[in-house]
Amino acid sequence: MDTASLAQVRGWLQYARRIAVLTGAGVSAESGVPTFRKAQTGYWAQFRPEDMATEEGFRAHPRRVWDWYQHRRDLLAGVQPNAGHAALADFQCRHPEQFTLITQNVDGLHQRAGSTGVLCLHGDIFVDCWLDSPRTCCHIDHAVAGRPPCCDGCGNLLRPGVVWFGEPLPYVTLQAAQKAARVCDLMLVVGTAGAVYPAAGLAQLARQAGARVASINPAASALDDVAHALLRGTAAHMLPALLAAA
Ligand code: OAD
């Protein structure tokens, strides 16, 4: 733990009127959720996560991609929010008017920890939507639903309600996240490789607008150059250490 930087960021936190937090897969790592780019295990190790997260990939192999998301949903059903999620929820509870939580995660763990108004840039793995624009016939007969579930009228498929590569982010959510980045005095960037845009651009936006930026990550990330402080530790250690007394 870099105690010098931790004390410094605590100081920024104390005087910040508005705080934005941008989280990525690393915040859920200590709950037992593999980070996005970490190799999958077992059967899924043969596929690149990136190939399972595009519309083309889904259209080419709908059952494989559906089953991969089902596998991840099953995994999430068996994990709990960790001390990092809890520290963020607790801080928001004590400082609701000055706090915005923005996440790239689709796992729902921030919400399960008690965070409210979370700006989910990449959707929600537990919500399905239609692959193609729904027609009047579109419905799912759950008694005979396949993998993926399919409309027996027109064949339209259900897909996970997450943002895939090449797809736009939800407009209103992104606008709200950009506004939070522009007006905050301090942005905490937690557990993201900072490689996927426009999410990673929020840290740059915050810095350009005059905010302090602090990164919590045990490893180097593409946003290290944007950060004023690098807290080299894990989310479940660093977030309580930073936020508990604030
Ligand atoms: P990545 O898997 O790319 O990066 C995870 C980051 O978490 C890395 O920088 C790790 O060093 C860090 N990390 C690992 N363990 C940690 C811990 N215990 N505490 C803190 N940090 C830790 O995940 P993201 O950056 O979130 O989007 O990926 C961004 C997006 O890429 C994902 O939301 C996904 C993917 O495209 C979509 O699916 C649309």
* Residue 68, H or E segment: helix 62-77
Whole-number pLDDT of residue 183: 98
Mean pLDDT of 37-55: 79
Mean pLDDT of 84-101: 96
Mean pLDDT of 181-204: 97
List, chain by chain if needed, residues with CB within 6 Å of any ligand 1 atom.
24-26, 29-30, 35-37, 53, 104, 122, 162-163, 191-193, 195-196, 216-219, 221, 234-235
232 C-alpha to ligand 1 centroid (Å) = 15
For residue 1, pLDDT over 60 is answered with no
Whole-number pLDDT of residue 146: 87
Give the chain's mean pLDDT: 94
For the record, the structure tokens of 57 come out as 């990939």
Q: What is the phi/psi pair of residue 187, to 5°?
A: -115, 130
pLDDT tier for residue 246 given thresholds of 50, 70 and 90: confident
* Residue 146, H or E segment: none
**Among protein residues, the one whose CA lies closest to atom 15 of ligand 1:** 26
Whole-number pLDDT of residue 3: 57
pLDDT, one tens digit per residue, over 126-176 is 999 999 999 999 998 877 778 999 998 999 999 999 999 999 999 999 999
